[in-house]
Amino acid sequence: MATNRQLESMSISEAVRQPGGNGLASPAFQASLFFGVLGWQNVESGVEALVCDGELVPHTRTMADFMRLLGRRRFVRRVMLRPAPLEVSAAALTSDQRQLTLTIAVKYEVTNPVHVASLQSPLSELTNLAIGTVAEYIRTKTFGELVGGGDATRARLLECFGHVTSIRDGVAILEILKAEAVGDERLIEIERKTAEAKAAAALVDTEWRNHVIEAGYQEQIRRGQAAIEEERAQREHARDMEKMRLEKQAGLIEAGIATLGQVAASGMDPTRLTQEVANLWREQIQNPGQDGVKEIASPKATAGLPEGKAALADTERTALASIKDSIKMVSYEVIESQGRVKGALIQMSGYEIVFSCDENYPQARPLVTVRYPDGRSLQPQVFWVPGISNSLAQAVLVVASHAQRVSGS
């Protein structure tokens, strides 16, 4: 049997296993004192606690025992605060009447050293309580729930231990480290395969939903691109027709001037002819749709729009031109229809930025899509405050910075 001095100096895990110990507390012994009266009692904080005559010694301190001079002796016990995990197994019938054994490992700590030191066999009591708690839990669950429970089983067992008053009095259950089910191996294998099949089915369903969402986004992008392409084609057509109209007018003016020159050279009075040529010019300019030339809306056609709408596209182009060199923009095109900005195509080095604007632009934020050559695309949100930050050029500065980071990642 260990002496008092040996019980003081040996490790706490070894001391609690000595004869007279209870597995969590060492045998009672007398502390070493100078002259039998004064001494120093060491307590390793967080690892063990010291109980002296039923009172807790919370930390290392000097000890004086003057009562020993009168023949009264004081005894101390060392209590282990963080014991090794406790492993127990419990067998019972599940709620669907199948035999199953559940083995668990419990991590716990001593919270009331005085109470634990007073017990004769705290480990046995804790083991019996744990077996009873696990067996009761088995009876409330089906075979499949216990076999495939995993983390959920450990979490629910931890909750069950929290309701056991006898355990809460002296120790605290910190964690269920494992919970392994043992039973009919054939049934266990069937349950595991069933759980795997369910997980695979859920994964397939999730992937299918993701594909549907992605297809929806791709369709939105395709429609936006088609609308921009249509607007671009209409704009190119309008530009060509305008060019034809101007060329025709220039030809008429040139022919009229040549005719007037010939008349003047012949010595005839060109006054009447000049008036007729002027009337012809005026008629052709005001009615350009004649002689197979389609009528194109002149700046007067936008007079019915709200003030500022007709000049908005030019304002956007001017702003984009001002930042083109600073952000290394390759090209830009502002698309308009009937005096309203419908979108823009900004070509950068390595990607392009597409803006789609609805009829409320610039009060409403445009839809922005960044497209890369490898088929990737993203739709960043831009900061848009009407009247403050509400131009395509401002949006391009923000989007280009974000797109460049994504392209380089």
Q: For 33-51, what is each residue's pLDDT tens digit?
A: 544 444 546 678 888 988 8
How confident is the model at residue 238, as a pLDDT? 86
User: DSSP assignment, residue 358?
Assistant: -
- For residues 309-333, give the mean pLDDT: 86
Q: For 220-239, what is each residue's pLDDT tens digit?
A: 898 889 999 998 899 888 88
List Cβ<8 Å contacts ≥24 apart for 186-192.
187/98, 187/143, 187/147, 188/147, 191/143, 191/144, 191/147, 191/148, 192/147, 192/148
The beta-strand segments (E) located in 23-170 are 38-41, 48-52, 55-57, 61-64, 76-80, 86-93, 99-110
What are 280's two structure tokens?
A: 């012809």
How confident is the model at residue 300, as a pLDDT? 36
Q: What residue type is 350 in one-letter code?
A: G
Q: Where are the domains of the chain?
A: 4-80, 86-183, 193-296, 309-408
Q: Confidence class of residue 162 from pLDDT cuts 50, 70 and 90?
A: confident
> CA 295 from chain center: how many Å?
55
CA distance 342 to 19: 91
What are 390's two structure tokens?
A: 């509400």
Of 6, 83, 78, the residue nearest 42 (C-alpha): 78
The beta-strand segments (E) located in 315-391 are 331-337, 340-348, 351-356, 367-371, 377-378
* Res 315 pLDDT > 80: yes
Of 176, 167, 131, the residue nearest 149 (C-alpha): 176
Please give the model's pTM, rounded to 2 decimal places: 0.45
Q: What angle do CA 41, 43, 46 make, to 5 degrees?
A: 170
Q: For 243-295, what is each residue's pLDDT tens digit?
A: 787 667 666 666 666 666 665 665 555 665 566 666 666 666 566 554 444 33
Whole-angstrom CA distances from 201 to 110, 187, 207, 208 are 45, 21, 10, 11
CATH top-level class for 309-408?
alpha beta
> For 109-135, b where at least 16 C-beta lie within 10 A, e where not — what string?
ebebbbebbebeebeebbbebbbebbb
Q: For 101-113, what is each residue's pLDDT tens digit?
A: 999 999 999 999 9
Q: Which CATH superfamily is domain 86-183 in?
A: Band 7 domain (3.30.479.30)
How confident is the model at residue 332, as a pLDDT? 94
8 Å CB contact between 238 and 298 = no
